[in-house]
Structure 1
């Protein structure tokens, strides 16, 4: 970020490459440069030598000066779809002659959240931890996922207004060494699917929910779904502020339960028998 480093770089730009046609300068996280560094670089960016190409990489283009942005051809890298990441992981494992379960790659592709780099990093970890075959169960353990679909079980318990069941499920997540944030993220994903299905029904190109989700569509009103989603988002933000992640997760679940009181409840909703 020092202006001296930028000037040293500019001093070397005038020399032609010894091999090839171009000298390529890649500046990563360019938004971290100081204003003086940008000023020193500006003239060269405006009229670079014919043998020089600059690649400026950043995750925060809004922080770049307008004078720099106006002199650049911008390419916005998009997140890759999970299906494409899955296909690439399959090619790699086939080239390496490693056995795998398709479901294991599905989990890795979803966990990568559109980043091929993250997918490859997770794949390396998964290969190291597996023995002879890449199994979905091993990948779940690696990522802190649970073997059961606790997100679905919790939503089903919520639909039935079974607060004790929700707390028991929370204890089971702890026993399995599960990741509370992952379970909450999955609940939010299911609530999103429910909302889409409530709005568009079967005639939608966005999702293909499983039968259990379609059943929940019948049990939750559109208002309930929106409220639960907002409670889940807020709980996700506040989970790390709680004394423990388990407490933060439990309070989020009970908040969802409290704001959907059963019609037959005559006592305070949390006063269920021990």
Structure 2
């Protein structure tokens, strides 16, 4: 029989196992608030709870709602400690400042108190889970002052579970308290809300978050730049937990010292440089370079949707800089300088127009069969708008009798060679040529409509039937829409007019000041002729003699 343990034989000495190092605890758990003083940004709620406890007006059910990471579950645990604290000497009562050293406080903080039951509604959604609570509340607490049920993400309970809980929730035994937490309070039935004292936990302001993260970094012995703390606080979007997770990641990324540049790189904000370059090309109006940049981005695996969202974000940053005059700490110094320059150079109408064009482009990209093609077309469409002058400046110039600003030349329009002859006008009937102005442009709006109608009947019909003339000063044309037009009407009309005349036309649409459309003028003329005919003595004599007679048509006797 082989030797074995317990037979008195010598065995080789076993090495002593080294003590296991304590597992690392993430900052979000390590610095979870253990008192109401440590709960930042929720002063109104703390004041209300303090007054309720001091005056012994403690509700039987509380509901905490708010975005992720603002302290809903932490608040529920603090309330449980506040209600069950007995003080260091064991003789204390409910207090807004739990001692943290008595047995109930320590057990609740460690999650092992038998009378404080914490459950996740996402995994206990059914009526059977609620039935267990309903049965248990009948029995007194084992050692604590109150038996407390903390239900996280309570909106995940089923309708049947909510209904089963209603009666108990409305009239619980005096030794039972319910604490609910949810991020989607609109999904909680009104019948439940009406039985709870509700606290809306607010997003934490970025300045307060940055200060809080700075104190934690100091406790951890980590040096973090102020700008880096500000960036993390902004990226956290009001959530303490999200911010601490980002701070944890930044410390792992940067080591003992964390810089703003490293945080931007960690968050992917450095990729904004590509979007920034794309926006510059867009504003320059260089269609060829724009397409090349889009091809390069596609080759690197950048999604068209991400590019469009990045451009919208850049325009939003320019607009905020223009409105407030303040820089965005989320961006590098170079990007802040570029944004400030664009905010100075761009007018509000241009910013608004580009925003709408890019927003529509994003929708096109999200729904198009080929997102890449949709992005190309959307940005090429935006190039045309980027070169247009400020409509307000054009209107002001026309009103004051000055020459309106012309569209900015774009690099997508090839410049004619110095020795190239002027572009020849398309062949038109001799009578039409005779009516042309010396500059080779239609002499008036009617001539312009005739020219367009010959080449593009659909545009000609829109010009004749759906717009009223505000002013005609070729190659500038201001119109008032009288009916619904295609969103690309002005651009298509300008392109067609340029093709036919060789001149760069500026087509502006405004919501007032237009004459009747040409179609309306035809109707008005016919109505005037009819009224004149009916007023003729001979016609009037006939209609008087024959009351049922009607005027069918008017013919020229000549």
Normalising TM by the smaller chain, what interval?
0.7 to 0.9
Q: Distance in 2 between matches of 1:193 and 1:129?
A: 27
Contact 1:145 1:179 (8 Å CA) reproduced:
no
Contact 1:145 1:182 (8 Å CA) reproduced:
no
Tell me how far 1:189 sits from its aligned partner: 4.8
Q: Name the structure 2 match of 1:76.
A: 200
> Which runs of no fewer than 5 residues in structure 2 stay unpaired?
1-124, 329-335, 389-406, 416-558
Deviation string 1:127-161 (CA, Å, 9 cap, x unpaired) is 22333322233323322221765555544444333
Three-state SS of the structure 2 residue aligned to 1:146 is helix
Three-state SS of the structure 1 residue aligned to 2:203 is coil
Larger % of helix: which? 1
Q: Name the structure 1 match of 2:142.
A: 18
Q: Name the structure 2 match of 1:217.
A: 343
2:353 to 186, 203, 227: 227
Q: Distance in 2 between matches of 1:180 and 1:110?
A: 26
Q: Distance in 2 between matches of 1:214 and 1:88?
A: 30
Q: Distance in 1 between matches of 2:414 and 2:146?
A: 74
Contact 2:318 2:340 (8 Å CA) reproduced:
yes
Provide closer, same or farther for how the CA distance between residues 211 and 146 of structure 1 changes in structure 2, counting only shifts above 3 A: closer
Provide closer, same or farther for how the CA distance between residues 213 and 89 of structure 1 changes in structure 2, counting only shifts above 3 A: same
Q: What pairs up with 1:51-200 in 2 under 5 angstroms?
A: 51-146=175-270, 149-150=273-274, 152-163=276-287, 187-192=311-316, 194-195=318-319
The answer to whether residue 159 in structure 2 is matched with residue 35 in structure 1 is yes
Three-state SS of the structure 1 residue aligned to 2:197 is coil
The answer to whether residue 390 in structure 2 is matched with residue 259 in structure 1 is no
Contact 1:16 1:51 (8 Å CA) reproduced:
yes
Contact 2:150 2:179 (8 Å CA) reproduced:
yes
Q: What pairs up with 1:194-209 in 2 under 5 angstroms?
A: 194-195=318-319, 207=326
Q: Which stretch shows the higher mean deviation, 110-119 or 214-223? A: 214-223
Larger of the two Rg values belongs to structure: 2
Tell me how far 1:228 sits from its aligned partner: 2.5
Contact 2:321 2:339 (8 Å CA) reproduced:
no
TM-score normalised by the chain length of structure 1: 0.75
Q: Which stretch shows the higher mean deviation, 104-113 or 172-181? A: 172-181
Provide closer, same or farther for how the CA distance between residues 60 and 222 of structure 1 changes in structure 2, counting only shifts above 3 A: same
Deviation string 1:193-218 (CA, Å, 9 cap, x unpaired) is 544566x676xxxx557664443234
Three-state SS of the structure 1 residue aligned to 2:149 is strand
Deviation string 1:92-124 (CA, Å, 9 cap, x unpaired) is 110000122222222222221221111111122
> Which runs of no fewer than 5 residues in structure 1 stay unpaired?
none
